[in-house]
Each structure stands twice: as structure tokens, then as C-alpha cells.
Structure 1
Amino acid sequence: MTLETLSSGLDTIWVVLTAAMILLMEGGFALLEAGFVRSKNSVNIIMKVFADITIGTLCYFLIGFGLMHGADFLGIVGTSGFLLKGDLSHLDLNISIDAFWLFQGAFVIAVISIVSGAVAERINFRAYLLYVVLMTAFIYPIAGHWIWGGGWLSELGMQDFAGSAVIHALGGSAALAAAILIGPRKGKFSEFGSSSVALPSNLQLVSVGAFLLWFGWFGFNAGSTLQATDARIGHIAIVTMLSAASGGAVTLLYTLFRYGRSDAPSVINGSLAGLVGITAGCAFVNDYAAIIIGAVSGLLMMAATNWLEARRIDDPVGAFPVHAVSGIWGTIAVGLFATEGGLFTDGSWHLLGVQILGLTALCTWGFLLTWIAFKTINIWIPIRSTDEEEEIGLDISYHGIRATHADNEFIRIEDYSYRGDVKEMRDEMYK
């Protein structure tokens, strides 16, 4: 065995393992979102996550990967690599193309899961499936090509190591468009402007989901080295930890002194905001900058949550504040704190300008394309669930089953049907 073969083998193991860690984050998304929403909609959350993994994976394999990482065309889009065929020699990898695809495929699933939370409890499941196709096959891959596929933002020098911009700012902007277009849940806002709160159905699930996401984030960030022997892995891991801790600590103290109690959902989202914020710069900033980035991410998340409420925009799990706002800040923070080229370190404005330009392009792309996608889908399939479906709950309306059954009794097969009138199914399941 040659040294080159050994190096390639170690790198492949590293990338496959970290890809698996990122895929485990889908379990975190499922638990987090199912715990945040009302129990009558928790199965629907799980089914949307499975749609992300199954349909999203296939769409990315067939189309998305080629558009994102194929041979560059005018800095805009890739033109090879569909079904992993064609010329991909430009990637210059030390690992197999299969391992690289697996890692990138795990990322695309995370993007669509961000949008899922923002439209929870009121989106038509069939309409969501169509959006999964559009996001994973076209919207995300084309934007991803601009930075990670050798596109025009990459040529300008934009830095986004693991995706604060490509994944979180883009996904969060798409989530905002979807939330605005689909409208708030019934009863969330009164006609007089007051806001109501639907309490989380299970904060234990939320916390476990957050811990799974936190765990997977080490694969998200450190795995982006694509090399097991990269000396930066330890540093990437520690700044990831520090930023997440800082985001959670700031929101814990803020809510404690502002409201006289430490608010659990805010603290959980604060830690996630810290993770999002450090994702772009985890390989470029020092430990102290990571603490600052995490703290600001947590505070901005709280401010963005209040901004949504003031504008009567319903985001049940905080997808926009956690992902878009923290992702935007984290990407800008690279231009401020990067040890090479940062404004506060080198006194250079160039990187900061490129970061802001790239963010503007990505957020605009994610928002507008999602708006167009849902408007188009709505021509054939209503994107919004009916009032009756929302009242009954999407679990029974779309999936014919509840998340929990206290007595676990037998029911007749003919009574357990995926067909028929929703009201009759509700009466049968709840009698």
C-alpha cells in the first residue's frame, strides 16, 4: 500500500463518517420540529423529513449535483455530473466521487429541512413534495455552484467554509418567503393585531433534537475539510463548540434578566444560532472571535423573532431567525474577523464587500425562487391546507394516523383507511 493510497483511504473514511453525522441531523430536525409544534401535527413533521431524505436525495443525484459541481458554465451553473456521469475531473478530489457526493447530498437535505419548519402545521403535504423537488434539484444547487462549484462568487473570493451563506442564509430566506406566502396558522394572530402562542408539545423532544443537531454540526463543519489529516480539524471543532455555547449562554442570561425566567425554547434556538453563525468562518477565525460570533448570533435571533411577530409572520420553529439571520451575520463576520483578509485583522475591506455581495445574491435568489415556486405550485395544488384539515391536524388529514395511541388497541382494517372523508377518519380515530 502506497502512502497516497493510505491518505485517500483515510480521507474517504473521514468524509463518509462525517456525512453520516450530518444525515443524523435529520433526526435532530424531526425531533426538534415535532416537539415545537402541536402534537396533532408531529407525524406530518416526520413525514416531511422523510420526504426530504428520500425525494431530495434522488433529485440531487439525478439533477442537482451536476448543476452544482459539474463543469462550470459562465460562472452560473454546472453542466456535467448528472447521475454522477460525465467529466468531473475538475473537482481534483483525494476521495472517490461517490464519497464526495454522499457528503454533498447530506448538505442538500439540511437546506430543505430549514424550509420545512417555517411552514409547519399548515402546508399541503402534496405541495410540499413538489417544492422538495424544486429546491433540491434546482434552487439550492445553482446557488451552491456560485460558491462551492467554481462559480462567480468563488472567483470573486467569497469565503463560506461550511455553509452559513449557501445553506443557512439561502434556506432561511426561502423559509421566510414560504412563511409569508402561506400565511399564519389559524388563531396565531387576532384581527386586532395581538399574537397568541402555541406552546411546544414536547420540550424533551426539542432538547434532544437540538443535541443531535449540535453533535452533527461537528461533522458539518469539520467534515468540510474533506481530509482526515487536515490540521485545522481540531480548531474547527473548538470554535464550533465555543460559538454554540456562547449563543446559548447569551440567550439564557438575556431571558433570565429581561423576563425573570430563563426561556427554554429561546436558549435552545440561541445555541443553534451560534452553530449557524460559526459555520462560514469556522476555519478562518480564532477562538475569541467565535465567542463573539456566537453571542451576537443569539441576540440577533431574539431580535429577529420579535421582528417576525411584529409583522404577523408565523414561523413556528424559528427557521428564519435561527438560520437566515444568524447565517447572514456569520457570513459577514468572516469579512470582519478572518485571520487573513478580515477588516479587524488586516484592515482590508475587500473580503467584507465580497461577503455582503454574495449574501445579497444568495438571499435574493432563495427568496424569489421560493416565492415563484410556491406561486407556480399553487396553480395546480393548493399550497395551504384547508381550515378543516388544520383544525383536525395534519397527522390525520394527510397521513391517517396520530403520533401516539394511549391504549394501543386493535382496530378493524376496514376502519383504518387512507381513503375517504377526512371528517369520517377523524371521528373513527378519536371516538
Structure 2
Amino acid sequence: MRSRVGILLLVLVIFCLSSSVVWAAETTAESNAIAIDTMWTLLAAFLVFFMQAGFAMVESGFTRAKNAGNIIMKNLMDFSVGSLIYWAIGFAIMFGAGNAFMGTQGFFLSGSFENLGLDIPVSAFWIFQAVFAATAATIVSGAMAERTKYSGYLAYSVVITGVIYPIVGHWIWGGGWLSGMVDFAGSTVVHSVGGWAALAGAMVLGPRIGKYNEDGSINAMPGHNLLMAALGVFILWFGWFGFNPGSTVAGTDLSIASIAVTTNLSAAAGATLAMITSWFKYGKADVSMTLNGALAGLVGITAGTAAVNNVGAVIIGALSGIVIVYAVEFIDHLHVDDPVGAVAVHGVCGAFGTLLVGFFAVDGGLLYGGGSALLLTQAKGVISVFIWTFATAYGLFKVIDAVIGLKVTREEEVEGLDQTEHGSVSYPDFVPLHWKSVKINKNSDN
């Protein structure tokens, strides 16, 4: 009898121990998954943050040397001021509980944000979204380069990061009235918002001195450093591997690999087709168009990067590469002076790529037997975001122009914004030589 009781006790002990081991293993696996997802989200956020350097290089390289420091200052403060305002109100409007139009809870990152259903810490999700918000704001910098008053630009940056962008984000990503739309990483939410705001800003601001002649003809105003612009494009391409795969906010989601592939294929196709198109159109393989073609492919695929296959990604990138060449020309012929092509790259190709999801999405796309429902949903989102963003941004820039002033004086523009807005120059070794030569010529008897 004692032996039987002993055996039963032994079995009971073994059962309890094994259950504890299984429970502990399950708990460890779950905590490990959360840790991996958190680390992946943070890594992706850091990659997207580095895109700020890419934007700075692209915009500086495509514009003139006398304004390079002003470009850097705008990019730096887009992120600095933008981070503060996005922490205070932007994130709550975008992802806080509220209504179909905007979030109304969670200001200053308070509360639990249980409505998001996150496994990772809210702080990890916030930093990832903050760098997205800064990207949308920075897009506008290039389109308004070389003639914008710095104080006016800062005022714009606060409003787009705090209100205009977060409301669109809430509509599509935060449970708002466009939540059925497919925009995985933000072709519309991030890039079109930035592009349409850039269009509004460039229109209110007007062109640079000497850009357009009285007869309507256009003068080319080349940037000062194509190598810098190319470096910026490579940095942006690199950062996009955080932008798109990172939008899973889950390193344990193995779809990050296929998303990285579709991202890369679309960028490569965009660059290739932009090069070929410019070659046929101008007789030369245009460098700046090819660089913007890579960005066009990246912007175009961002909406559907998780929804299309590799062939679809190549087609989306290729079409975006063709569109960018004609979009840049079309906007220029409207006499909207965009020194870096931001409206065409981010606004036009962002909308174009979002619409193409309705054709190429493997699940629900028109070309895969899904009918027109998804395409109509995408079109509704694209049109709604354009109306909201362009109208609010245009009104904002008009108010800024009336209250603060948006455009520098003619004399300030001619001298360069580095000197007139910041009291410094980006290339000081050049300036003294120039001044010295002027003084020598003035004092010369010849």
C-alpha cells in the first residue's frame, strides 16, 4: 500500500514539475517574442530616422550652395520641433481613442492606448510613428527651398506634424473612416500628405527669381552637388528597409523578408525606367531624373509592399519611374517651382502607387479576380486625402504669409538664405576668395 502511495506521489510531483516547465517555456517564448518585436520596431525607427540625413543630402544637392545650411536647419528642426509637437498632441490625434475623424485621448503620451492592441510598449510604437511624422514634414522642405522665410517654415512644421498629418493617419491607420484602405507603410498617409502640402506651399510661395521668363519659358537652375544628392538617395533607399518592413512592428513576422524584396525591386525598377525614359526623351541618361526614379519606385511601392508579389512590385516601380519624368515636367510647366521634384515624387507617385494596389494586390486586386471594390476604396482614400491636405496646407500657408511672412525679400534670395537667415555660409572657403577678388577688382586701376 505504501509503495502505491509513493508511486502516486512521485507521479504527481513529476506532473507538477513538467507542467511548470511547459508553462515557463510558454511564458519565456512569449516574452522573447515581445522582446524581438520591440527590438525590431526600434531598429526600424532608427533606420527611418537616418532618412532625415538622406532628405537633407538630396535637397541640399539639388539646390544651390548658398542655401545648403538653410536646408540642413529646416530638416533638423522638422524632426526636433516635430518630435515635441507629435508627443504633445499629434500621436493622440492619430492613434488615441476618439471618433472616425480624429483621436481625442492620450495627449502627452498619457494613457494605455489599449485601443491599438499592441504587444510592444507604446513608447516603442511612438518613436516609430514619430519618425514617420517627421518624414511627412520634411518632404515639403525641398519644394519650398531657396526662397522661404525660416520663421514661416517653422510655423508650418508645427501644424503639419501636430494636426494635418495626424488626422490623415487616424483616418487610415487609427481606426478612422478610411480604415478599409490598403496603405501599409504610407504612400498616401506619409508621402502624399507631404507631397500635397509641398504643392500648396510652392504655389503660395511663388517661384525663385529667374526660374520662369516673361514668355513662359523655363530656365534650368541646377543644384550645386549631384554627388551629395546621390548619397542622399542611397541613404533614403537604405532607410526604406526600416520604413516598409518595419511597419509590421513585429520582428517575429517573417513577412518582413518578402516586404524587403518588394521594396528593393520597385526601387530598382523605378530607377531603371526613369533612366531609360529620360534617355529616350532627352537623348541622354539624366542623372537627377534617375535618382528621383529610385525614390519614385520606393514611394510607389510603400502602400502595397505587403499586398503585392514580386512581379507586381517590379511593375509598380517601373510605372512610377516613367510617371516621375512626365510629372516633374508637367508641374514645372504649370510654373510651380519645385527645385527637388518633391511634389512629383511624393505627391503624384504616392497617389499613383496607392491606386495601383487596387490592381496588383494578390488578395482583392482587380487583376487577381478581386473586382473593382478595392480600387474604388483606394481611389476614395487618395481623393479624400488630397482634398484635406491641399486645402488645409494652402490655407495654412496663406495665413502664415499674412501674419509672419512666407517669402524672403529679393535681396535676401539673391544673397542666399545661409547668410541672410542664419548668418553663416556652408562653404566658407569659397566666400572669402570671392569677396577678396571683388575688392581687388574694385581697387584695381585696370
Work out whether the TM-score is over 0.5. yes
Deviation by residue 1:77-125 (Cα, 9 ceiling, x = unmatched): 0011211102411111111000000000000000011111110001110
Judged with a 3 Å threshold, the aligned counterparts in structure 2 of structure 1 residues 408 and 189 are, in CA distance, closer, same or farther, namely closer
> How many residue pairs align between the two structures?
412
The one of 403, 406, 410 equivalent to 1:380 is: 403
Does residue 1:98 correspond to 2:127, yes or no?
Answer: no
Does residue 1:33 correspond to 2:35, yes or no?
Answer: no
* 3-state DSSP of counterpart to 2:244: helix
CA distance in 2, matches of 1:194, 1:379: 30
Q: Is the 8 A contact 2:140 2:194 kept in 1?
A: yes
Bigger-Rg structure (1/2): 2
Deviation by residue 1:204-223 (Cα, 9 ceiling, x = unmatched): 10000000000000100000
CA distance in 2, matches of 1:242, 1:148: 25
The corresponding residue for 1:245 is 268
Q: Is the 8 A contact 2:187 2:302 kept in 1?
A: yes
1:368 partner letter: A
CA distance in 2, matches of 1:152, 1:298: 31
The corresponding residue for 2:220 is 197
The corresponding residue for 1:268 is 291
Does residue 1:107 correspond to 2:129, yes or no?
Answer: no
The one of 84, 88, 96 equivalent to 1:58 is: 84
Does residue 1:224 correspond to 2:247, yes or no?
Answer: yes
CA distance in 2, matches of 1:65, 1:354: 25
CA distance in 2, matches of 1:397, 1:406: 18
The one of 97, 101, 104 equivalent to 1:76 is: 101
Does residue 1:365 correspond to 2:388, yes or no?
Answer: yes
1:306, CA displacement in angstroms?
1.1
The corresponding residue for 1:130 is 155
Runs of 4+ in 1 over 4 A off after TM superposition: none
The one of 205, 223, 226 equivalent to 1:182 is: 205
Q: Give the TM-score normalised by structure 2.
A: 0.90
Does residue 1:22 correspond to 2:45, yes or no?
Answer: no
* 3-state DSSP of counterpart to 2:222: coil
CA distance in 1, matches of 2:263, 2:231: 18
The corresponding residue for 2:74 is 48
The corresponding residue for 2:4 is none
Q: Is the 8 A contact 2:296 2:317 kept in 1?
A: yes
Deviation by residue 1:118-177 (Cα, 9 ceiling, x = unmatched): 1000111000000011000000001110001000100xx111000001011121111111
The one of 187, 197, 200 equivalent to 1:164 is: 187
Deviation by residue 1:229-252 (Cα, 9 ceiling, x = unmatched): 112111100010100000000011
Aligned sequence identity (%)? 47
The one of 343, 349, 373 equivalent to 1:326 is: 349
CA distance in 2, matches of 1:330, 1:257: 24
1:408, CA displacement in angstroms?
10
Matches within 5 A, 1:247-396: 247-396=270-419
Does residue 1:139 correspond to 2:168, yes or no?
Answer: no
Residue segments in structure 2 that go unaligned for 5+ positions in a row: 1-26, 440-446
Q: Is the 8 A contact 2:61 2:228 kept in 1?
A: yes
CA distance in 2, matches of 1:320, 1:35: 17
1:378, CA displacement in angstroms?
1.7
Q: Give the TM-score normalised by structure 1.
A: 0.93
